[in-house]
Structure formats: structure tokens, C-alpha cells
Amino acid sequence: MLWALFFGFAFVILNIPKIEPIWEFFSDCRDYKGQSRYSLFSMSFYAPVSSPVFAPRPFTIPLFYKMVGTDEYRIVIMQKVVYCLCSLLFVRSTLGFIKSSLVRIILAASLFFFFTWWNIVGWSDNLLSESLSMSMMFLWFAAILFFIRKQSLSSLVILAIVGFFFSFTRDTWPYIILFTYLVLFAFFYRRERIMRLRLLGLCLFAVGTFFFQQYTADVGERYKLPVFNSIAERISKNQEYLDWFRQRGMPQADQLVKDFGSIHIDTRPGQAFIYKRYEDSTYTALFNWVVKDGKSVYTTFVITHPAYFFMMDQSAQERARIFSVGDTKYTLREAGFYANAGNVFPLFNSWLILGLLLVLVLIYRQWNPSLHLLFPALICLACIVNVYLSYNADALEVERHLFITQIILEVIGIVSVCSILDAMILRFSKRPPSPLNPA
């Protein structure tokens, strides 16, 4: 049944009537393609230096592009194939914990149907990082479940390798990966010594990956534009915040208020306006300050201003962007079979997810201490960290950076419902016969 569902799913994803070159409108694509042409044996591939016509990126996406010769049409096909394989591995990993045959069918069918949601699939038609980053995320989820199931050295090595390449799809992921591994280490801490040592090794490997990625970001100045975006959008509109930065040496504060005080850069006119500021010399002094001191100053500000970090300075409409769905600025419009999933999802909201997680924790404590029941809670914690980290890291294109939130919630919801159903079937099928109604 699994393979029948998978081949049906793969047929839908890989049935490509026509590839449209929508990537021609995005500068990101040129950067990924340009970096993919560097030699694998050169540090310029892993830690390239920026230039006026090139913005460096983490190396995993350029690596995938290099594997298919940096041909745009082959890249699209490759992204779809990788997506199918990673989805299959995630489904197989979740099924490994489900005992009921009926629930296994429901879970596999639900996940494969969910994976046809255009909110996910649509990105595979463009040459941006989102499609491969999502595929690697599902593969990373599968590796976590595989480790939880096997708890062996080989499963830990697989998790470390997958996490390493997943980390370099986007600069926020190393924080999430390290946080997740620390949670796993804390959970297993009271278990056998060998497991503690293995997880400690995993955490140390993640720390090394984190600092190497930070090094490549510093070399390529990948933080320069996100910090500038956040200062222009959020800091310039709050006098108290602005004074705090001015006291720490930030130049051109008055110019920021003049240009961005009444402009929201996440609107189309605002995006066009800020893109021009990247290219002209208006903010040369501010950009130089960001490169020299601004990153550490902004990090200190975020840490010491919890109201800012927890988005209390943002309106309800602005915060709602963390659950963005169906942003068609970067994808083609859904059609054909893909409209079916679009009529169903999103299915879960944050309150429903919270209720499902509470039920899973109760089942874990009272009925079945199987670690897979805590997996949805683990990725929910990681999702929450990603929301606050991404929102504060870059104030531009928030919907694009956080559309992944609702996708993770749907995964949590589907896996949670099926895990609860399976646990209930397992529990009540093993109930001893009643004296009044013997078996």
C-alpha cells in the first residue's frame, strides 16, 4: 500500500507538462547559479566573498545545482525528485512507530496527500532555496525519528550528516538544529552513559557546524542586508529604539526616519524603495557600520529588549504573517490535482495543535512511554524558536521566511492525530476481559 501511494504521489509531482522560467525575475537565482560554478575544491564555493553583483549564499543549494550542471530546467526536475524521495523517507520513518494497519494506511495517505499541497510543491518550480530547504527539513525530521527508533551509533551519524547539509540551506537553521540536539541531549541525559556521550558528540558537532556557518556568513557579509532591513523597518519607527542605536554609534539615524518612518518595506512599494537603497550610495556609512559593529549591536539589542524579540511592538496583522499561506509572488498558480489539497489545508491552528500535544504527553506518561509520541512536541518547540529567530533576523519578506510555520503545524497535526489514534487502538485492544463479559 505504501508503494502504491508513493507512486501515485510521485506521478502527481513529476508529471510536469511545462516548465516556465519564472526564476528570471529573482536575483537570488543568479547568486545560487554563480556560486555553483565555483570549484568544490575551492573555499570560494563554501565561503565566497561578496561583490556588487554577487551575494554569497550557504553552500548546500549551490551544491545541488552543481550536481545537475547548473541547468535551470534540470534543477527544477531535480528539486521535484529530491522532494519526492525526502517525503517518502519521512513517511516511512513515521510509519515505523505505528502498530495498527488501519492507522498506517491513514497516516501514509494523509501525508502523501498533504505533500501535494501547492504551498509546498509550488516552490519546486522556482530556483530559490525554499524547495530544497523544505525537502532537507523533511529528511532531517526522518533522521530524528530514525534515531529515536534505533538509538544506535549509525543512526546518530546519519542524523549528524543530514543536519550538516540541512544547516547550510539557510542561515537560521543552525540555531534550530543546535537547539533541537540540546533538547535531545537533555532528555536522554539520565539514560545510559554511552547515549549521553553520543549525544554530547552530536551537540559538539552541531556547535562546530554553527561556528563554521557563522564564519562563512561573516566572510560573505550575509548578515548585512537583513540587519539593515530590520533597522530600516522596525527600529526607525520607534524613537526609543532609535536613540538606543544612536548612542552606540549608528550613523544616519535621521536619514532612516526621513526615508523609512512612513514606509513599510514588506509592501511592494516599500520593497522597491529599499532595493534602490541597496544599490545607491545613500547609506554607505550605515552599511559600513553594520559590517563593522552593527551585527553585534543588533544582536545585543534583540537579547536585551524582550518586547522587541517577542514581537510585542508589532500589530496583530503583522504577527499574523508568521502563518502565511499561498504567497503567489514566488510560485505559479495552483491548477489541476493540486487544487484538492488547497481546499483542505491549512487544517490545523495553533490552539488545536496545543491540544493534540497535551494529549500525546498524557498518553506518553500514562499509557505508552514511546519516544515517538514526543516527536511532535520536539518539532513544535523547534518551530517556535524558528518563528522568533526568523522574524527578528530580517524584517523583509516575512511571509517568505515563515511560510514554513503552517507547513510544520500541518505535519505536527497529522502525525499527532494518527499517533493518538494508534495509541488508543493499541491500549483498548489489550484491555483484559471483563468478569461480566469474558472473552
CA neighbours closer than 13 Å in the CB half-sphere of residue 318: 16
The vertex-62 CA angle with 61 and 68, nearest 5°, equals 100
Span 122-170, pLDDT tens digits? 999 999 999 999 999 999 999 999 999 999 999 999 999 999 999 999 9
Span 51-94, pLDDT tens digits? 988 999 999 999 999 999 999 999 999 999 999 999 999 999 99
Q: What confidence tier does 437 reach under pLDDT thresholds 50, 70, 90?
A: very low
Q: CA 434, CA 259: separation in Å to the nearest integer? A: 76
The answer to whether residue 439 scores a pLDDT higher than 60 is no
Q: CA 241, CA 261: separation in Å to the nearest integer? A: 13
Give the percent of the chain with pLDDT over 70.
Answer: 97
The answer to whether residue 366 scores a pLDDT higher than 80 is yes
- Where does residue 26 fall: left (phi above 0), alpha (psi -120 to 50 degrees), or beta otherwise? beta
- Cell 558537532 locates to 205
Number of H-type helices and E-type strands within the chain: 24, 0
The answer to whether residue 433 scores a pLDDT higher than 60 is no
- Where does residue 400 fall: left (phi above 0), alpha (psi -120 to 50 degrees), or beta otherwise? alpha
Q: CA 409, CA 323: separation in Å to the nearest integer? A: 9
Nearest Cα residue to 99 out of 344, 421, 436: 421
Q: How many residues does the chain have?
A: 439
**Cell numbers at residue 395, please?**
524584517
Beta carbons of 113 and 120 less than 8 angstroms apart: no
Q: What confidence tier does 438 reach under pLDDT thresholds 50, 70, 90?
A: very low
What's the mean pLDDT when you consider all of the chain?
94
User: Looking at residue 434, what is its pLDDT?
Assistant: 45
Beta carbons of 112 and 87 less than 8 angstroms apart: yes
The answer to whether residue 435 scores a pLDDT higher than 50 is no
The answer to whether residue 436 scores a pLDDT higher than 60 is no
**Which DSSP string corresponds to 128-158?**
SSHHHHHHHHHHHHHHHHHHHHH-SHHHHHH
Beta carbons of 151 and 202 less than 8 angstroms apart: no
For the beta carbon of residue 54, count every other beta carbon within 10 angstroms: 15
Calculate the CA 202 to chain-centre distance. 20
The vertex-123 CA angle with 227 and 383, nearest 5°, equals 55
